[in-house]
Amino acid sequence: MALNQALSGINAAQDQLNIISNNIANAGTVGFKGSTGQFAEVYAVTGLNLSSVAVGSGAELTDVAQQFSQGDLETTNGSLDMALSGNGFFIVNNGSGNQYTRDGAFHENAAGNVVTADNAFLQVYPPNATGGFNTSTLTDLQLNTAQSAATPTSTITVSSNLPAGATVPTTTPFNPADSTTYNDASSLTVYDSQGGSHAATIYYVKTGNNTWNANLYIDGNSAGTSALTFSSAGALLTPANGNLSFTPVQPTNGATFPATMAVNVTNTTQFGTAYAPGTINQNGYQAGVLENVTIGNDGIVTAIYSNNQTSQLGQIAVANFANLQGLQQIGNNRWAATQSSGTAVLGTASVGQFGNIEQGQLETSNTSDTTAQLVNMIQAQQDYQANSQMLGTVNSLSQTLFQAVSRGG
């Protein structure tokens, strides 16, 4: 019996050494969670038949418990590197179902999907057309189609001051090529439906006391003339809604402008100071390519384009479980849900039980500090040696007994 007890102790110590060895081997593995061995004594008979003087039959490994403590966060500055600070798991799909990981080392594949090192797809909640995200479904995070389409200019906003002391031009009619036919002008760039840029100029012609004409030209072509009227205090009276309406000449390159283009002059004044063009803005822009991706603590993924536009591509979904110890380790720093773990509870970062997502950081292994592992290794090694010594002692006693029996015969 003593031989079996010592052998079980050796096996238990070997199991412990194997677990510690795996922890140390993964000290540099992103998102790795270490394990500890749980052991129990063994009896040759059932508990109902144990007497007060029963001696155990040794030890056995009963469970390899996972340790889900937080690992340190390490800055990488990679735009698709992410770490969860707090509870939760990233959700990935390798084509055969959802899996869960703390390894946030993602990258973009050739098709523009955000994937793990072995091409499992990161799962997000897709954006709704009206804003927000559809948290009832999951989809792959896709960057390749995240391009910003061109938007044609439909509104120009002008905040300027026309000088009250200006005189009516004596040279008529208005001619943009003759500066004596107009008082002041402001230029800007507008965009067609394909994102092509065009030179636009607004020419101001004083027509009388407190009255002006605004002439819009695009690429040298007239888009029309509209009148402005000011009060004796210099405030805009007409148009009442502040919008001047123009009809641009359509480009010849296959692109289009809106049928009408509004110039909003609500903040335009006529004071006794010199002409001040103020600010001129327009709502069109050229097509843009993806330049960068930002990920908030709440997991919202925002694309930033070369035309200074932004769009939300999705919100990273996170999961948690009622019983983390019930998760099944499946390799590649991932886990699968089981009946023991319970169904995944899905949510978003920074809300309720879920931690924050940190962009440009990775969670290191929670065994990266190997000091504790080495201490455990020494203890397991001593256990192994002690059981080996016991095995040797029992063997020596057995040999002595056999020799005594042999002589007695």
Mind listing the pLDDT tens digit for each residue in 282-321? Answer: 999 999 988 999 999 999 999 999 998 999 999 999 999 9
Task: Please tell me the distance from the alpha carbon of residue 91 to that of residue 320, in angstroms, as a whole number.
Answer: 10
pLDDT tens figures, 85-126:
999 999 999 999 999 999 999 999 999 999 999 999 999 999
Peptide bond into 152 cis (omega under 30): no
Whether the Cβ atoms of residue 56 and residue 5 lie closer than 8 Å to each other: yes
Residue 273 makes CB contacts below 8 A (sequence gap 6+) with 161, 163
Could you count the other beta carbons within 10 Å of the beta carbon of residue 400?
10
Q: How confident is residue 403, by pLDDT bands cut at 50, 70 and 90? A: low
* Domain-ending residue, one of 216, 250, 282: 282
Q: Tell me: do 167 and 255 sit in the same domain.
A: yes
Rg (CA), the chain: 38
Would you say residue 122 lies in a domain? yes
Residue 31 makes CB contacts below 8 A (sequence gap 6+) with 71, 101, 102, 103, 104, 105, 333, 362, 363, 365
Q: Tell me: do 270 and 182 sit in the same domain.
A: yes
The two three-digit tokens of residue 246, written as one number: 């123009």
Amino acid at 250: Q
Would you say residue 298 lies in a domain? no
What's the mean pLDDT when you consider all of the chain?
89
Q: What is the pLDDT of residue 405?
A: 67
Q: What is the pLDDT of residue 148?
A: 85
Q: What is the pLDDT of residue 38?
A: 76
Would you say residue 297 lies in a domain? no
Q: How confident is residue 5, by pLDDT bands cut at 50, 70 and 90? A: confident
Average pLDDT over residues 72-91: 95
Would you say residue 227 lies in a domain? yes
The two three-digit tokens of residue 198, written as one number: 């065009």
β-sheet with 197-208: strand ranges across: 184-191, 197-208, 211-218, 221-230, 236-238
CATH number of the domain where residue 203 is located: 2.60.98.20
Residue 340 has pLDDT above 70, yes or no: yes
Q: Tell me: do 214 and 135 sit in the same domain.
A: no
Say what the pTM is: 0.75
CA 138 and chain centroid, separation: 14
pLDDT tens figures, 258-293:
999 999 999 999 999 999 999 999 999 999 988 999
Q: How confident is residue 370, by pLDDT bands cut at 50, 70 and 90? A: confident
Q: Tell me: do 244 and 181 sit in the same domain.
A: yes
Q: Tell me: do 318 and 210 sit in the same domain.
A: no
Q: What is the pLDDT of residue 398?
A: 63
Q: What is the pLDDT of residue 324?
A: 95
Q: How confident is residue 225, by pLDDT bands cut at 50, 70 and 90? A: very high
Task: Please tell me the distance from the alpha carbon of residue 264 to that of residue 302, in angstroms, as a whole number.
Answer: 31
Q: Tell me: do 376 and 339 sit in the same domain.
A: no
Q: Tell me: do 377 and 356 sit in the same domain.
A: no
Domain that holds residue 165: 155-282
Q: What is the dihedral of CA 370, 372, 377, 382, to 10 degrees?
A: 150
Q: Tell me: do 353 and 252 sit in the same domain.
A: no
Three-state secondary structure call for residue 188: strand
Residue 53 has pLDDT above 60, yes or no: no
Q: What is the pLDDT of residue 35?
A: 84
Would you say residue 210 lies in a domain? yes
Residue 1 has pLDDT above 60, yes or no: no
Q: Tell me: do 251 and 160 sit in the same domain.
A: yes
Would you say residue 188 lies in a domain? yes
Q: How many domains does the chain have?
A: 3
* DSSP symbols for 55-100: ---EEEEEEEEE--PPPPEEE---TTBEEEESS-EEEEE-SSSEEE
Q: Tell me: do 226 and 195 sit in the same domain.
A: yes
Would you say residue 287 lies in a domain? no
Q: How confident is residue 395, by pLDDT bands cut at 50, 70 and 90? A: low
Q: What is the pLDDT of residue 406?
A: 67
Whether the Cβ atoms of residue 33 and residue 67 lie closer than 8 Å to each other: yes
Q: Tell me: do 47 and 85 sit in the same domain.
A: no
Q: Tell me: do 250 and 195 sit in the same domain.
A: yes
Q: What is the pLDDT of residue 350?
A: 95
Would you say residue 244 lies in a domain? yes
Task: Please tell me the distance from the alpha carbon of residue 177 to that of residue 181, in angstroms, as a whole number.
Answer: 9
